[in-house]
Amino acid sequence: MLEVSVNILTLNNEATLPKCLDSLANFSEVLVADGGSLDNTIDIANSYPNVRLINQNKSNLINNKIVDYSEARNDLIQQSKNDWILIIDSDEVLDTESFNQFFKEVPKVPAVYSFQKKYTLNGVIIDNASTYPIFNIRFFHKNTTNGFKNLIHETLTLKENFYNTSLMCVIYHSMPAINELWKKWDRYSSIVALDKHRIYKFLSLEFFVAIFFRYFREILYITFASLRNRISNKGNHLPLNYEGLRIAYIFSIIIKLLLHKMRLEIVLNKK
Please report the pLDDT score of residue 34 as a whole number: 96
Q: What mean pLDDT is predicted for residues 107-130? A: 95
- 9, pLDDT greater than 50: yes
Q: State how far the Cα of 86 lies from the Cα of 147, in Å rounded to an integer.
A: 13
Return all residues near 220 (Cβ < 8 A) that are at least 6 apart: none
> Among the CATH numbers 3.10.20.30, 3.90.550.10, 3.20.170.30, 3.40.50.620, which is that of 2-175?
3.90.550.10
Q: What mean pLDDT is predicted for residues 114-133? A: 97
Average predicted confidence (pLDDT) for the chain:
91
Q: How many residues does the chain have?
A: 271
- What letter represents residue 53's amino acid? L
The distance of Cα 181 from the centroid of its chain, to the nearest Å, equals 13
**Taking the model in full, what pTM does it have?**
0.90
Q: What is the dihedral of CA 5, 8, 9, 11, to 10 degrees?
A: -130
Q: What mean pLDDT is predicted for residues 109-118? A: 96
Nearest partner of 192 among 250, 237, 138, 231, judged by Cα = 250
Question: Are 198 and 204 contacting, i.e. CB atoms less than 8 angstroms apart?
Answer: no
168-180 pLDDT tens trace: 899 999 999 999 9
Strands 134-141 and 112-121: antiparallel
Parse the chain into domains and list their residue ranges.
2-175, 178-270
183-234 pLDDT tens trace: 999 999 999 888 877 666 555 666 777 777 788 889 999 999 999 999 999 9
For the chain, report the end-to-end CA distance as a whole number of angstroms. Answer: 63
Please report the pLDDT score of residue 204 as a whole number: 67
- What percent of the chain clears pLDDT 70, i.e. is strictly above it? 92
Q: State how far the Cα of 230 lies from the Cα of 235, in Å rounded to an integer.
A: 9
Q: What mean pLDDT is predicted for residues 78-88? A: 97
Please report the pLDDT score of residue 203 as a whole number: 59
The distance of Cα 118 from the centroid of its chain, to the nearest Å, equals 13
Q: What mean pLDDT is predicted for residues 237-250? A: 96
